[in-house]
Amino acid sequence: MRHPVRENAESLRQITRRSLILGGTQAAVIGVLALRMRFMQVDQADQFRLLADENRINFQLIPPTRGRIFDRNGEIIAENVPSYRITMVREQAGDVDAVLARLAQLIDLNPDELERARRELRELRGDTPVTLADRVSWSTLSRVAVNSPALPGVLPEVGLSRRYPARGDFAHVIGYVGPVSDRDLENTDAPEQLLRQPRFQIGKIGLEAQRETLLRGNAGSRQVEVNAAGRIMRELDRQEGVPGADLQITLDHNLQAFCHARMAGESAAAVVLDTDNGDILACASSPTYDPNLFVRGISSADYKVLLDNPFRPLPNKAVQGIYPPGSTFKMVTALAALEDGKVSLNETVYCPGHMTVSGRRFHCWKRGGHGNVDLHRSLRESCDVYYYELALRTGIEKISAMAERLGLGVQFDLPMSSVAKGLAPTKEWKQVNRSQPWVVGDSVNSAIGQGFVLASPLQLAVMTARLATSRSVTPRLIRSIDGIEQPTGQGDDLGLNENMLREIRKAMFAVSNSDRGTAYRARIVADAFRMAGKTGTSQVRNISTSERADGVISNKNLPRTQRDHALFVSFAPYDAPRLAVAVVVEHGGGGSTVAAPIARDITLQALFNGDPPLDAYPAAERPAIKIQQEQLRRARPQADAEAKDRA
């Protein structure tokens, strides 16, 4: 059947419209493609020609400049210095063995370093620079640069390396950096490519490690054109990285150096706190070591010397070392008993030289006893029996609670390695950790800072600062970041009875200034700087009944490792406290004879910001102190000269 003419015409018009739409769409697509081809072939011709011509465009990371570290006076104690090295990029080198052979004819290559480099060239990505020689001279670097056309893939580089100009003075606090190890990469979640750069340095311990991200900064990048031999022809693009932050810490180099010099020859630690804001003015662990040895990897021989030293130079005894605090803990026991109403200020306890508890005899350090003693005398002369009695009345739970209130058994949030928590034991602690019930003898031992009680020198300094100020002073190490002041550790009121604290302070003053005080021989005689303190001697061995009957062997007649630890804590000036000091001498013997004189000298050095006048010391000691000051000045010439410049 034939269709009408009108229907045929309408069908033809529809086909024509569809053809026009389809043709227009095709034309538009072809036009866009033509424009894109013109853009790529004309406008971007140079860039694509470079990309197509033997892949001559390289993308390189730009390591950020590590942040510097300064002491409280602005003296630099961790800096970056130029370091020359020779590197190789495998994918640019071609025949690696042939290039290395030519390079070996120009410079001396360490066989061990060369073997390590060959391994890294095999294992790492082809575009990763591998260090062939580090810390080379300028002449060696120049020789390689001149011969670079014959050494494809070999790059002479000028980088930065960490240096610690103060050497061992801040080693335990600042720590050190070192090359990134496989272990570092394993311990890092999704390590960035920067860390995979050979010989890139990161913080290993101390502040360098604890504030690694802050000090490291962020890497930049650049796009360079290289020729067939791998030589950089021009830089096409650069994105600058972000340098690491500069840190200023609270420590004073002059005081830190003095602490090390004063404790030389001892295995000891000293901490000095500013009682107003908690700033750590000194944090010294003796003996120390040179952190520069670790920056590029310490030798086995040097590391063995440090490990074999019986005085243990590697750990930071000031914050990692935990010791029985001995009689320096007696203020804690006294305050716990006073607050609980278990003893009054004037109440006396009779000391015959011992106390029998549950069939066991606990001795006082004074064999014949002290007779009737009150709180003041018990601290002044360090009577043990008085505190045995307080422990029986008060109980370990309240003693431990007071200890934590004063900063013992507390892990302070400081950017140093392995800051110890110490131990203020409780009944529950012993049951959980020793699977044994608490017995009354444990409380008696704890009352005089023995038994399970453990504290670090840092914690003892915090305790002393809190006793001196009635505030929860908290230690601070970082003073500012890129010039921005950080929160202080001034702390709030402890909520303790001020009358009780005042009596504790008076007794501590008598320890150092009464002729019957245990630290009288280590006193300060300058009226404006008199200190209050407390001696401590903690046993590290058991004394048998037969030895007590025959007479306790003196420390000087014992092997070093069996001698008592010597401790002393103090604050000064007494009327307006500015400093809190704690000193621990491992196996030093008596706190009054060994630790107290060290703490006294450090206190005066800090108060006078340099060597104090001789009239600050007792007259009988001045000739010996004059000789000591001359010896210590020779031991710390750098820090002493810097202190004079500041003055």
Alpha helices in 375-439 (DSSP H): 375-380, 384-394, 396-405, 427-434
Distances from the Cα of 527 to the Cαs of 456, 597, 603, in angstroms?
A: 31, 18, 14
| Residue 391 to residue 441: CA distance in whole angstroms | 9
Assigned token pair, 466: 């809190």
Query: Are 348 and 375 spatial neighbours (Cβ–Cβ below 8 Å)?
Result: no
CB-based contacts of 561: which residues, under 8 Å, 6+ apart? Answer: 540, 587
| Residue 395 to residue 337: CA distance in whole angstroms | 9
Alpha helices in 238-325 (DSSP H): 253-262, 300-308
Query: Are 282 and 636 spatial neighbours (Cβ–Cβ below 8 Å)?
Result: no
CA-based nearest residue to 84, from 135, 130, 143:
135
CB-based contacts of 474: which residues, under 8 Å, 6+ apart? Answer: 278, 412, 462, 489, 491
115-127 CB burial, b ≥16 within 10 A, e <16: eebbebbeebeee
Residue 269 three-state SS: strand
| Residue 505 to residue 511: CA distance in whole angstroms | 10
For residue 23, give the amino acid letter.
G
Query: Are 135 and 85 spatial neighbours (Cβ–Cβ below 8 Å)?
Result: yes
| Eight-class DSSP state of 564 | P
CA-based nearest residue to 535, from 520, 555, 524:
520
68-99 CB burial, b ≥16 within 10 A, e <16: bbbbbeebebbebeebbbbbbbbebbeebeeb
Query: Are 454 and 423 spatial neighbours (Cβ–Cβ below 8 Å)?
Result: yes
Residue-wise DSSP of 227-247: -TTS-EEEEEEEE--BPPPPE
Q: Active-site residue 570, yes or no? A: no
CB-based contacts of 575: which residues, under 8 Å, 6+ apart? Answer: none
Check 327, 400, 570, 592 and give the catalytic one.
327
| Residue 264 to residue 281: CA distance in whole angstroms | 19
For residue 96, give the amino acid letter.
V
Catalytic (active-site) positions: 327
